[in-house]
Amino acid sequence: MTALAGRSIVVTGAAAGLGRAITLRLATDGAHVVAVDLRSSTETVDAVRAAGGSAEAIEADATSSADVERVFTAAAAPTGRVDAVVNNAGRFGGSSLLDTTDEEWDAYLDINLRTAFVMTRAAVRVMLGQEERDGVRGRIVNMASQLGITGPPGALTYSVAKAGVIQLTRQVAVDYGREGILVNAIAPGRIITGDHPGERDYLDHGTIDAATEFSLMRTPFGRLGVPDDIAAAAAYLVSDDCRFVSGALLPVDGGWTAY
Ligand SMILES: NC(=O)c1ccc[n+]([C@@H]2O[C@H](COP(=O)([O-])OP(=O)(O)OC[C@H]3O[C@@H](n4cnc5c(N)ncnc54)[C@H](O)[C@@H]3O)[C@@H](O)[C@H]2O)c1
């Protein structure tokens, strides 16, 4: 496919899980993907190249303005543009209110919300300086969560941070829409990446732990999500087909948040 041919796209959290699947999908659709992660994204980039796509890995902390500036300089180098950014880096976890320390609050807000803020600010700065293509200067996709809509038991900092990501999305879409920047968010449901406790057993042997069984029972569509479900949503939101959708939250959760 060549739907994204000639496009330069930055994906954070690209070393694993959803970020890896998104990177593979966007590169397969023809984009050059800058794969950003705290740790090495070499495996992701090798998989892209093995599939005939184009990607480069940059180790960077998406909470750091200096690191993020380095990322955008590299991403804009080949074409002078950054066409889209997928702010995917994040981490599930947290506690209930009385168990939440000041340090935990800062850490989860940083990784789940500050990352999106720092990346979005840098993206908008670059995008404002580039020409429109069919009325669009750039597209930004933020990874929220179904848990930014519904409050899960015992994950205060995560759910508050993801709710912030949803509001950041709306606010930036409103403030920069007239400049040709589209900003949207994805709210994944429970997605089985194989990287979290119990998931490898489920994928390899069909063994289901209590948390996974609850997620399955709670999902109206009757299966759990897979990373390609999220990659497909991201591929639409960064594509030319997405031209009048902005400030939106797309749940990709098999209907979890429908009731
Ligand atoms: N997997 C799910 O079921 C699910 C559901 C809802 C939302 N999400 C969201 O989707 C995103 C990806 O989830 P995942 O399950 O693939 O997570 P994951 O933990 O498998 O991967 C996240 C990646 O982000 C990287 N990262 C963390 N902090 C970073 C930083 N400061 N700078 C750069 N990279 C950083 C990590 O190194 C890791 O490689 C997260 O934002 C998560 O909250 C996931």
- pLDDT reported for residue 205: 85
State the DSSP code for 9: E
Nearest one of 118, 241, 243 to 168, comparing CA atoms? 118
Any atom of ligand 1 within 6 Å of the Cβ of 63: yes
Residue 97 has pLDDT above 80, yes or no: yes
pLDDT in tens, 126-147: 999 999 999 999 999 999 999 9
**In angstroms, rounded to a whole number, what is the distance separating the alpha carbons of residues 103 and 119?**
22
Mean pLDDT of 201-212: 85
Mean pLDDT of 89-108: 97
pLDDT above 90 covers what percent of the chain? Answer: 89
pLDDT above 70 covers what percent of the chain? Answer: 100
- pLDDT reported for residue 202: 83
Any atom of ligand 1 within 6 Å of the Cβ of 159: no
Mean pLDDT of 33-53: 98
State the DSSP code for 254: T
Question: CA 40, 56, 242: angle at the middle one, nearest 5?
Answer: 110
Residue 196 has pLDDT above 80, yes or no: no
Mean pLDDT of 67-88: 97
158 catalytic? Reply is yes
Nearest one of 85, 77, 81, 101 to 10, comparing CA atoms? 85
Question: CA 66, 22, 94: angle at the middle one, nearest 5?
Answer: 65
- pLDDT reported for residue 1: 67
Average pLDDT of the residues of the chain: 96
C-alpha dist (Å) from residue 75 to 6, 33, 84, 101, 183: 12, 8, 10, 37, 19
H or E element at residue 57: strand 54-59
Give the Å distance between the CA of 173 and the centre of ligand 1. 23
Instruction: Give yes or no for a contact between 85 and 37, defined as CB atoms under 8 angstroms apart.
Output: no
Any atom of ligand 1 within 6 Å of the Cβ of 92: yes
Please report the atom of ligand 1 found closest to the CA of residue 188. Answer: 6
The domain 8-191+226-253 having CATH identifier 3.40.50.720: the answer here is yes
